[in-house]
Each structure stands twice: as structure tokens, then as C-alpha cells.
Structure 1
Amino acid sequence: MKQQFIGGWLVFLGACSFGVLSSIVKTAYHAGYTLGEVTGVQCMFGMLILWGLHVIFTTFRRPPNKVSNNDNNKPFTPRWKVVATGIFPGLVGICYYQCVQLIPASIAIILLMQYLWMSVMIDYVVFKNKPTSMQLLAVIVIIVGSCLAAGITNQSIHLNLTGCLFGLLAALMYSLFISTSSNIGNHLPKLEKSALMITGACIITFLIFPPFFLFKLSFNDLIYQLGLLLALLGTVLPPFLFAIGMPKIGISLSAILSTAELPVAVTCSYWYLQESVYFSQWLGVLMILLAMVLPNLIHLRKKR
């Protein structure tokens, strides 16, 4: 019971750390920094930290006595393919942070959450896995809740169309990342796999936004502090907490606790960024949370 409690808290904290990213990005924009500077510094710090941790753990870790049969059964993936998979999280960061720049952060996170039904569609179209009736019902509730949360029923809310398109594009890239990363590089240690992926994200980011700004900024510049915070809360800490906590509590309960990202992001935008969040939007957020939580609760109940 104690291990489950600790594991649950770790997963919950990992989800919460994801939820505060949009508010930090908004702070960087208000300070005058650009999309390329924010995404570039975050990817650079994330790559350096992950590779540094990988070198430290590899140096001081005892070599295993023998390789288990489970490890032998895992398909081998060339490391360059794992790096290539990092293109998707790199594009997620670029598209999502561009969305945050153009529309309120409380609505940007709603658009990103559309990866939930997009993943179901990709799983059906690409992998031929037919969705269950519960999944289809959850998709319908998520779409309706997203319309409410985005403020479609509120005439006082005017959304930037370009920002919405970038938000939906970020959701698509995230769903593609989930679909590919779960099938690639599973034979590698989790830390090395994460470092390879963030390297790919850093490469695509620097190709789109060449890092010339690194030569213009001083080392005590605010962007480095914000970028380090984004790297820790968005790149390093959540995967680490999830890797420790999820095996202790299982996939279904982890999926329930990871929904904390959505209310945390909306709450931060309301209290910290002083963005207006109407009752209909909170109702939409609640609908999305129910659509995410109820199927996993039903699965847990059947399992018990």
C-alpha cells in the first residue's frame, strides 16, 4: 500500500509539472523572447541534462550478470530511428508554444488534449485496432467538452484561427509520437531512449530555428532560467517520475492521475496569467476529465 501511495504521488506530480509549462512559456513571451529562443533553449538544456544523467548512471551502474529472456525478445531498433522519432516531440513543442503565443493558455491545453481521440483514430486507421464502444463514447464526450472548454458558446471569446490550427497540429504530432515511441527502442534503457529522442527534437528545432540567438544572449539572461525550468518540468522530471511511479500503480490508475495536467494548466492560466475562464469552460474541462477517467475506472473495477 505504501509503494502504491508513493507511486501515485509521483505520477500526479509528473502530470502537474506538465501542466505549468504553458504559463512559463507565456511568461517568456511577455518578457520579449521569441518562439525559436524558448523552444531552442528548452531542447538544448533537456538534451544536455539527459545525456549527462545517462553518462553518470552508465558509469556507476553495475553491469547485469545476464540478459533476461524478456530483453532478448524485444525487437532491436537502430539508434538513428529513435533519434528520428524525436522529430515528433520537437514539432509538438514548436506547434504548441506557437499556439500558446496566439491564444489563451487555458484554451491551448484543451486543443493539445485532442490527441486523445486522434490517437484512437490513428490506432484504428494505421494499426487496424477497432475502438471499443467505450472509447467511441469517450471520443464524443471529449469533442463536446472541448467545444465548451474552448468557449464556442461564449460570444465574448474570440479565438485566433492560426493559433487553433497550431494547437490541433500539436495534438496530431503528439498522437503520432505516442504511436511511434511505444513501438521503437524498447530494448534500450529508458534514460538513453529519452536522451536519443530529445536529441532528435533538438535537431529539428535548430533546423527550423537556427540557434544564432545563443551568440547574442548573455549567460545571466532570463531565457536561460526559464529554459532550464521548462527542460526540467517538461523534458526531464515527468518521464523520470512516470518511469518510477507507473509500475507501482498500473496503467489504468496512472492514466487517471495523469489527467491532472489539464486542470493544473487551466488553473495556472486563471490564477497566474489572469486569463478569464468562464463557467462553461470549466464545465467542458470537467467533461474531458470524465471522459478520460471513467473508462479507466471501469477497467480497474473489472480487474478487481
Structure 2
Amino acid sequence: MSKEQIGALWMVSASVAYGFMPIWTVLGQNSELTTDFILFFRFACASALLFLLSRFEKIPILLPKRKILEFLFLGGILYSVQSFAYLDSLRYIQTALSVMLYHIYPVIVTLVALMFFKEKIQLKTLLALVLCIIGLVVILQIPKDITLNHLGVTLSLIGALFYGLYVIFSQSITRNCHFLVASFYVCFFSSIAMFLSMLRAHETMPNLFEIPFIGIFALLALTIFSTLFAMVAYYLGMPKIGITKTAILGMIEPLVAVVLSIWILGDTLSALQYFGAFLIIFGSILLCIRR
């Protein structure tokens, strides 16, 4: 296999692993685990494993104080907020709907680049933005017999906003950092943020021996498969295929998540909503190609 084919294989693997993330989360929530605890477990265990992996590879993990403060902002605020908002939205709206709303974030990244970084707008960019916005409007056309939970929609869109900001800021903050070190600090500070959130909500740590088997399985799968493996596969694939192809292959993630939510969780969307989802994905691919 060529270098590019190997990179594409890693990226597809990462997108599939990330696509399973909402499924593990819903299974954990169905086992009466809070979103705060699910994320704390995920980030704490992932950061511990990343630390051990960095030590095994003999990669220096200490960073200058300023860089650590930047990672505190990146992981402790942006990444933790987007993770909580996105995954907590699954408690209120269908997984397929949440996934599609969350993946509007390429639009946010593009709008921020246009407004604050003064990038010139191209016809293809304008077309992609219009398609994504129309798709967002269409996908929110819930059948009359179903009540739309506005909190769930708001949380999913907040997740998209903060992930878009994370993508923007991470480009400069993680520059010249080994991917294991960058991933470690993001997960480490996210775990601290989730722990503080648990304290603020007066949550107690559940007894792991009392959690149903499916809940334990979901926690481990979320941590090992959809976090640690997904991160490593992403960073192994991206340098081999470039940013544009990485972003395009990343759109496999919402497709995997939607298919799994229908197959495993029994979610259903109308034909019109599927058309809206197609518009969002197609528009996002156009934005990725532009970038």
C-alpha cells in the first residue's frame, strides 16, 4: 500500500471510531450514569493511558508555563464544554438528530475565518454555507406528532460552536507539539473540568461494581476505542494525506453515527430530514475542499 492509502485507512478508522461515540454515551446514560461522570471517566483514563504511552515512547511531556495555560483553555474550556454539550444533548433528542446538528461546525469555522481572519469569500464557499443553512432548517422540521426538545437542540448547537472554536484555536496551540503530548493535555484538563462539574452538581462517584455490564462496556469502549484509538489513528493518518482529505474523510463520522443510531438505538428520521442531513454533509465537504 502507498503512504497515502495507509493514511486514508487510518483516517477512515478514526472516523468510524468517533462515529461510535454517541452510541457508547447513550448506553452509558441508559445505565444511569451521568454525562459528567461518563466524560470524567473517559478523559481521566485516556489521559493516563496517553501519559504512559508518552513515557514508553520517551517523549518529553513537560511544556512551558504559557503553553500549559493555552492547553488549559483548549482542553479545560473549549473541548470540555463541546464534549458535555454534544453528549448531554443525547438525553433530550434523537442521536441521529444531535449528530447532524453537531456537524454543522464546519460552517462555524468558516464564518469565524471570514469575519475575524478576513478570509475572502468565494462562490463555492457561499454555496456551501447556503446548503448547510438550508440543511439545518430542513432537518429541524420535526413531524407534528413529535415535540421538539429545544434544550437538546440548543446543547447540540453549543457543542458545534465550541468544537468549531476548538478547531480554530487548536491549529496554533498544538503547533510544534507531539500529538501524544497535545492529546494528553487536552484530555487531562478536560478531566479536571468534568470533575469540577461533578463537584458543583454534588455528584458522587458511582460504585463501579454496581454499574451494569453494558455500562462498564460502554465506558471502556468510549475510552479505548472512541478516544485513545481514534486520536492516535487521526494523528497517524493526517500527515500522510493532508488537511483537505482528512476533513473530507472525517465526514464519515456522522454517517456512521446516524446508521448506528438507527440500527442499535432504533432512531427514525423523516425522508425530509435525511435530505437535510445530506445537504449539511455535502455543504461541509465543499467547505473542506475549499480549505
- What TM-score comes out, normalization by structure 1 length? 0.85
1:273/1:220 Cα in 2 relative to 1: closer, same or farther (>3 Å)?
Answer: closer
1:48/1:95 Cα in 2 relative to 1: closer, same or farther (>3 Å)?
Answer: same
Q: After TM superposition, what 4+ stretches of structure 1 lie above 6 angstroms from structure 2?
A: none
Take 2:265 and 2:159, find their aligned partners in 1: how far apart are those partners? 22
Partner of 2:258: 266
Structure 1 residues 84-115: Cα deviation after superposition (integer angstroms, max 9, x where no partner): 21021111111111101110000001111121
Following superposition, the deviation at residue 197 of structure 1 comes to 1.2
Partner of 1:67: none
Following superposition, the deviation at residue 296 of structure 1 comes to 5.1
| Contact in 1 for aligned 2:142/2:148 (Cα 8 Å) | no
Which range is displaced more, 176-185 or 221-230? 221-230
Partner of 1:64: none
Structure 1: runs of 5 or more not aligned? 62-74, 300-304
Code of the residue aligned with 2:72 in structure 1: it is V
Partner of 2:193: 204
Q: How does 1:105-254 map to 2 (within 5 A)?
A: 105-150=95-140, 152=141, 154-210=143-199, 213-214=204-205, 216-218=207-209, 222=213, 223-254=215-246
Take 2:113 and 2:181, find their aligned partners in 1: how far apart are those partners? 26
Please tell me whether Structure 1 or Structure 2 has the larger radius of gyration of its CA atoms. Answer: 1
SS of match in other structure, 2:121: coil
Take 2:231 and 2:7, find their aligned partners in 1: how far apart are those partners? 13
Partner of 1:256: 248
Code of the residue aligned with 1:171 in structure 2: it is A
| Contact in 2 for aligned 1:10/1:244 (Cα 8 Å) | yes
Identity fraction in percent:
22
SS of match in other structure, 1:33: coil
Code of the residue aligned with 1:270 in structure 2: it is I
Take 1:298 and 1:42, find their aligned partners in 2: how far apart are those partners? 34
Partner of 1:69: none
| Contact in 2 for aligned 1:76/1:185 (Cα 8 Å) | no
| Contact in 1 for aligned 2:107/2:284 (Cα 8 Å) | no
Which range is displaced more, 104-113 or 203-212? 203-212
| Contact in 2 for aligned 1:118/1:172 (Cα 8 Å) | yes
Code of the residue aligned with 1:205 in structure 2: it is M
Aligned length: 284
Partner of 2:37: 37
1:261/1:108 Cα in 2 relative to 1: closer, same or farther (>3 Å)?
Answer: same
- What TM-score comes out, normalization by structure 2 length? 0.89
Following superposition, the deviation at residue 219 of structure 1 comes to 8.2
Structure 2: runs of 5 or more not aligned? none
1:55/1:108 Cα in 2 relative to 1: closer, same or farther (>3 Å)?
Answer: same
Following superposition, the deviation at residue 153 of structure 1 comes to 5.8
Which range is displaced more, 243-252 or 166-175? 243-252
| Contact in 1 for aligned 2:41/2:219 (Cα 8 Å) | yes
Take 2:231 and 2:42, find their aligned partners in 1: how far apart are those partners? 15
CA RMSD of aligned residues (A): 2.4
Take 2:88 and 2:290, find their aligned partners in 1: how far apart are those partners? 37
